[in-house]
Structure 1
Amino acid sequence: MSHIVIISGSPTPGSRLNGLIERVESRWNEKGVKVSHIRVAELPAEALLHANFKDEQILAALALVESATGVVIASPVYKASFTGVLKAFLDLLPQTGLKGKVTLPLFIGGTIAHLLSLDYALKPVISVLGGRNIIGGVYAIDPWVQRLENGGFELSEELQERLDRSAEELSEEITWLGIRAKEKIQIS
């Protein structure tokens, strides 16, 4: 069974980033895909910053990534890059921590000017961690995600379509990798 873990690097619980995350997660929930969350800002700060590999919450988060077939790396963009709290977590992953996993970047920023942060800030880090199957990713800007009075989010139609396509592409890639793995086992 597919397992997707969503790593959120937002330092604020009410971030518009959650609108993007909720949209892709709803697509996978419709298909019965297991989805887990790592909200990096909720991990123990001292353990995160000091790379305390004995901390139970850090170990549990790392185990989620290890068990996943797909990884969503989501972050707001600050100063043309993803958040420092996300970087602190990614630094804890083993050198090949994303090897064999399909990754989907989801970023949100104040302007379109930081669109290339996906390619120039995050994708090299994914590559260093062994990630080779990187879905194109979705970059959104704040005006495309409106906060609703009830606490939810309303996304622009274009953003919804882009997120739906990316969620589907991740699902297809995970299925394809599963088929290839079965073929290799049968050949051996």
Structure 2
Amino acid sequence: MRYLKWGFWAVIAITVFTFLSYNLPRHDIVRVVGTEVRRVDFGENSIFWAAPDVGTAAATSRDVRFINTVRANGKPLVFRNEDTGWGWPPYFKLDSSNLQAQAESLISTKADPVWVSVTRYGWRSNWLTIYPNAVGMKVVAGPDARIIPWVNIVILTLLLVLILVIRAMWRQFRERSIDPLIEDAGETWDDAEEGAKSWFDRLMGRKK
């Protein structure tokens, strides 16, 4: 039973961590090297793509904007640039075309780099063919610029407070409602066991 309990909480923890890892905003400092629009046919990985741009119809394939970038260590990082609209996650992004134009204006070379902090959510996976979605960008002083994730700090703090409140409420509920029931059930069981033992002793005594 103990292993089952720990297994249950492990599954809950992994689920929450995965959910937050995908949906919380992150910041990547990169150099924009190009942009493109690519036709994408959606399949099993369609869950990792946003809804069509606001004002367009849903389809199994559509043109998707991409922003090609390079990290300071020379490794490429490709972002998709899709509206999130009023759906999930709640970034309310409706300006993917403007962001594409901004990215094009920030294209730079290795000899004369312009470093940009891209705010995004999601994962990059070559195997699943998924890309993080860029939701904003701003020019920074250099590749070592420090970005404080205030949004994540606020969200995680509120989440921690919520967990502590729920835990306190659960402990009060358990102490007031569940524990007395368990104690009463235990006493009832002990009384029944004692009664059965007395009956058995009397029965055995009569047989003697």
Normalising by structure 1, what TM-score?
0.31
Normalising by structure 2, what TM-score?
0.28
Relative contact order higher in (CA < 8 Å, ≥ 6 apart): 1
